[in-house]
Copies of this chain bind each other. A is one copy, B any other.
Amino acid sequence: MKFNNKNVTIHNDVKIGSNVEIGDNTTIYPNVIIGDNTIIANDCVIGEPINDYYRKRLEYVNPPTKIGSDSLIRSHTIIYCNSEFGNHLTTGHRVTIREKTIIGNHSSVGSYCDIQGDCVIGNYSRLHSYVNVGQKAKIGSFVFIYPYVTITNDLTPPSRPLKGVFIGDYTQIGTNSTLLSTSKINQSCLVAAGSIVFGEYENDSFISGNPAKRVGKLSKMPFFNDKGNRNYPWQKHFSEGLPWAEIGFEDWSKLQNDD
């Protein structure tokens, strides 16, 4: 229903893989590569030109943008040029992703997210709706970030240079938290909803409050899931859409270490 080839604009120098669908009213700017089996829904913009385009039109050349295979870009998403995405990317509606963003495989970006560019997100990470990722952020793999989290880059605004936040693999950032510039949240942590986070936190930390403190080892906290088990490390209990869905996290983990 969305794919009637109505008002689709595909510029020059666009390479589109096999079995790709492009929705109505979508525009693909020059120098975009789209992998096989990817669906770009209606009203999207892929390869949105950067600011130079507006004021230096004649000399402007759009930098390259790469969307991987097997991806689903939902409607009204704007992806700037000069970014690179792995395979199996999913977006919600009305996402904005600025230039110089690098995202790995199997990650997702929820509706209304604003990724400000010049940042890196790993594999199998999930940004829920309205996540605001500031420049210079480095986000690992299997990181889930919940709505209204803002990842900042300036401790003494306004100042330069911008300095990003680091988030380690498997870490969960609760809704409505603010991660202040230069913070380093290592692996397998949980940041409680509404925390204002600043500083460095070791692996397996439960972090909470304003200013946020390390309450203790996350794996020792009395956080039980519906089956009555300690929920953390969460990978033991949760596998929807994750690579250990078939064999469980422990076996999968061993296979990774063997590689």
Inter-chain CA distance A156–B72, complex, in Å, is 28
Q: How large is the interface on A (under 10, 10 to 19, 20 to 34, 35 or more residues)?
A: 35 or more
Question: Chain A 133-165, CB within 8 Å of chain B: the 1/0 string?
Answer: 000000000001011101010011111110000
Inter-chain CA distance A49–B192, complex, in Å, is 34
Residue of B nearest to A209 (CB): B210
Residue of B nearest to A45 (CB): B75
A:20-79 near B, CB below 8 Å? 25, 27, 29-30, 39, 41-42, 45, 48-49, 53-54, 62, 72, 75-76, 78
Is the Cβ of A132 less than 8 Å from the Cβ of B129?
yes
Chain B residues positioned under 8 Å from A223 (CB to CB): 155-156
Residue of B nearest to A190 (CB): B157
- Given known pairs A75-B78, A178-B176, the reply for A225 and B159 (CB within 8 Å) is yes
* Interface of chain A: mostly helix, strand, loop or mixed: loop
**Contacts A/B (CB < 8 Å), 15 sampled:** A1-B53, A1-B62, A54-B72, A75-B78, A96-B111, A130-B132, A148-B150, A152-B175, A155-B223, A156-B224, A158-B234, A159-B226, A159-B231, A159-B237, A159-B238
Binding site for B on A (CB under 8 A): 1-2, 4, 6-7, 9, 11, 25, 27, 29-30, 39, 41-42, 45, 48-49, 53-54, 62, 72, 75-76, 78, 92-94, 96, 111-112, 114, 116, 129-130, 132, 144, 146-148, 150, 152, 155-161, 172, 174-176, 178, 180, 190, 192-194, 196, 209-210, 223-226, 231-232, 234, 237-238, 240
